[in-house]
Amino acid sequence: MMKTHLKLIRQERGSTLVVYMFVLAAMAAIAIASLQTITLNLESSHSHKKGRNAFYSAEVGLDLAVNDIISEFENLSVYTTSADDSSSDANGFISVADYRNYAVNYNITNPVERFLYQTVVGNTIIYHYAHTFDIQANSTSLKDSSRETVNEQIRVLETPLVQYYIFYGGSGNDADLEILPGPTMNSWGRIHSNSDIYIGAGSTFNLRNYDTDNNLSPHSIVAAGNIYLKRKNNGSPYANNKVYVKTSNTGTTFSPTQNIAATINSVNEDTEEIRFNNYLLINEEPYSVPSQTLFKRGAFYESRSGDPQRTTIDGITIVGTGGVGTGNIEVYVSRPNANTNVTALVAAMESSTGTSTGLADAITETTSAFRDCREERDVDTTNIDLNLLELWYEEYLADQGLSLAGDGILIYTSRSPDATYTNSDTNLQAIRLMKLDTTSAPQLSDETTVATDNPVYIQGDFNTIDTKGVAVISDALNILSNSFTGRTSCSSKTDATTTTLNAAFFGGNVPTPAGGGNYSGGLENYPRFQERWSGIDCNIRGSFINLWTSSQATERWGKSNVYNPPGRAWGWDVRFQDPDFWPPFIPSIFSVERVGFLE
C-alpha cells in the first residue's frame, strides 16, 4: 500500500514537472517573440528615423534651391536653370558634399515662360511676373545607404515697385515712412513701409481711390510696424481729424472715410483693420529690396546698359570722370553690338560717320552749374536731354536698318570715376536731365529707365507729352522748375513756376535718427527743392520709392533759406497698372509660393 502511495506521489510530481516544463517553454517562446518584436520595432524605428532624416535633408535641398533662385532675382537677374550654373554637373545638379552627414544635390528647371499673375493684397489686386520652377532634391546618407528624393514646384512672384505710390524699403529706423505735409494734400495709390509709419497733416492728408482725372486707383496703407499720428523726431502729436482714408474702392467721391487713430499697434490691430475695411494693415511682412550697390560704377546697371542680355531692350551708357572738367564724357550703346563706343558720333550728333542728324547737342557738361544750398556746394553736371538723345539713337539705328527693340531703353549715367567714389569733393558731381535746345520737348521715344549712383536734378517739365513709363534711379532726387536758370548764392532764392513731372522715382533720403533729432523732411521733401515755390504747384504723377540712405547727397533737411515749399499735387500714375507701361529693369521685390509636390 505504502509503495502504491509513493508511486502515485512520484507520478504526480512527474506530471507537475512536465506541466512546469511546458509553462517554462511557453514563457520562453513568448519572451523570444517579444524580443523579436522589440528588435523589429527598434529596427523599424531606426529605419523610420533614417528615412525622416533623409527626407529632411532632401527638404533642405529644396530650400537651398529656392535661396539660389531668390538671390539671383534680388540681383535683378532672371534665374533660368541650375544647368546654367558653373558649379553644376553634366546633368544640371548642384551638390553639397556634406550637410549633417548627408550628401545633398538639387536640380532646377524652368518649365514655362514667365507670365502675368494677380494676387490680392489687403483689398487691392496687384500684378506680378510669375516665374515657375521645378526642383528635384536628393539626399544620401554618408553613414548608410538611406536615400530620399523630393520633387516640388514653386512660383517666384516678381513685383515691380512702380505699382506702389509710396514704398519705403530697407530695414529698421531707415525704413520708417514719415508723411507730415503742411497744406492739404490729396493722394491715391498703395503706400508701404518696411517699418513704422508716422503720419499727420497741418491741414489734411487724404488717401482716396481716384486721381485728378477721376481714373480709379487702388489705394492702401500697409506697415510692417505700427502707425503713429505724430512726429518721429520729437513725438509731437497731430490732430486725429486731419488724416483720412477712403474705405471703399468704388466711386470717385471721397466717401466713406475713416480718420487715423493716434496709435495703431498690436493692441487695437484687429478692430482698426476692420474699421478701415482692410485698406489699412499693420504688422505685415517686410520685403527685401535691391541694394544700392547695384547702381555703382561697374555694377549691375552699368553692365546691363552696355549689354542688356535681352533682345527687346536697348541700352545706352554715359560716363565721365567726375570733377575733372568738360570734355570727359564717353558714350556707349548696346546695338548692334554690346558696348559700342559712339562718343564721337554723339559729340557731333551724327548717326553715322559724316551723317548729321540735324539735332542739337543731347549731352553737355557744366562746371559749377549752380549752387545747391542744402548741400552747400556748387554742382558740376552732366546735362542730358533725353528727348534729343533718344531721337539721335533712333536715327543711329535706322542708318543700320534697325529700329528700337520694343521693350524700352535702359540708360546708365555717372560722373563717378569708380565704385569707391564718395562725391565729397568741393563740388558735388551730379546728373541733370533738362532741355538743351528750344526745339526739344518733354517727350521720350519709348519706356525708359535712367539709373545713376549720383544725385539727379530734373529741370523743367518732364515726360508730359505722349507720356511713357519712366523710372529715374539716383542717390537723391532734386526738382528744378521750368524757370530755373541757376543759383549762385544762398542769400536769396529764385522764383519757381508751375512744373509737371511723370515718372517713378527711386532713391534715398537722410532719415530721422532713431530716438529723435533732425527731421528727414518726410515724403513731402523726398524730392528736394532749391527755389521759392510759394503759391506754385509742383505736379507729380508716378511713384516715390525710397530704398536706401543717400550716400553722396548727405546733408540734412531743414537748413534756412534753401527753398519755399510748393503746392504738392502728387499721386500714383494709374498707367502703371498696365505692364506695357513698365520701364525696363525696374527694381522689384520678390516672394515665393510653393505650388505643390510633384510625382
Q: What is the pLDDT of residue 335?
A: 96
Q: Per residue in 533-561, pLDDT tens?
A: 999 999 999 999 999 999 999 999 999 99
Could you tell me if 141 and 297 are in contact, meaning their C-beta atoms sit under 8 angstroms apart?
no
Distance of alpha carbon 258 from alpha carbon 96, whole angstroms = 54
Q: Per residue in 479-489, pLDDT tens?
A: 999 999 999 99
Task: Spell out the domain ranges in the chain.
Answer: 2-163, 166-281, 292-586
SS (H, E, C) 365-396: EEEEEEEECCCCEEEEEEEECHHHHHHHHHHH
pLDDT, greater one: 423 or 64: 423
How deeply is 500 buried, as exposed, middle or buried, from its count of CB atoms within 10 A (0-12, 13-18, 19+)? Answer: middle
Query: Across residues 332-360, what is the average pLDDT?
Result: 94
- Number of neighbouring beta carbons within 10 Å of residue 341: 11
Given pLDDT bands bounded at 50, 70 and 90, which one contains residue 44? very low
Cell numbers given for 511: 532719415
Could you tell me if 179 and 197 are in contact, meaning their C-beta atoms sit under 8 angstroms apart?
yes
- pLDDT averaged over the chain? 89
How deeply is 571 buried, as exposed, middle or buried, from its count of CB atoms within 10 A (0-12, 13-18, 19+)? Answer: buried
Is 50 exceeded by the pLDDT of residue 396? yes
Cell numbers given for 471: 523710372
Q: In what order do the strands lie in the sheet with 377-384?
A: 363-372, 377-384, 428-433, 456-459, 477-480, 527-529
Distance of alpha carbon 347 from alpha carbon 329, whole angstroms = 9
Could you tell me if 553 and 375 are in contact, meaning their C-beta atoms sit under 8 angstroms apart?
yes
Q: What is the pLDDT of residue 432?
A: 98
Helices (H) and strands (E) in the chain, counts: 5, 35
Q: Per residue in 432-490, pLDDT tens?
A: 999 999 999 999 999 999 999 999 999 999 999 999 999 999 999 999 999 999 999 99
CA-based torsion, 437, 428, 462, 482: positive or negative: negative
Query: Across residues 578-591, what is the average pLDDT?
Result: 94
Q: Which amino acid is at 343?
A: T
Q: What is the pLDDT of residue 599?
A: 57
Distance of alpha carbon 447 from alpha carbon 449, whole angstroms = 7
Judged by average pLDDT, the poorest of 252-266, 345-359, 373-387, 398-412 is 345-359
Cell numbers given for 522: 518726410
Helix (H, G, I), strand (E, B) or coil at 114: coil
Distance of alpha carbon 557 from alpha carbon 496, whole angstroms = 19
Is 50 exceeded by the pLDDT of residue 154? yes
How deeply is 112 buried, as exposed, middle or buried, from its count of CB atoms within 10 A (0-12, 13-18, 19+)? Answer: exposed
Q: What is the pLDDT of residue 36?
A: 52
Q: What is the pLDDT of residue 40?
A: 47
pLDDT, greater one: 41 or 350: 350
Q: What is the pLDDT of residue 9?
A: 47
Distance of alpha carbon 237 from alpha carbon 512, whole angstroms = 16
Q: What is the pTM of this model?
A: 0.88
DSSP for residue 286 = P
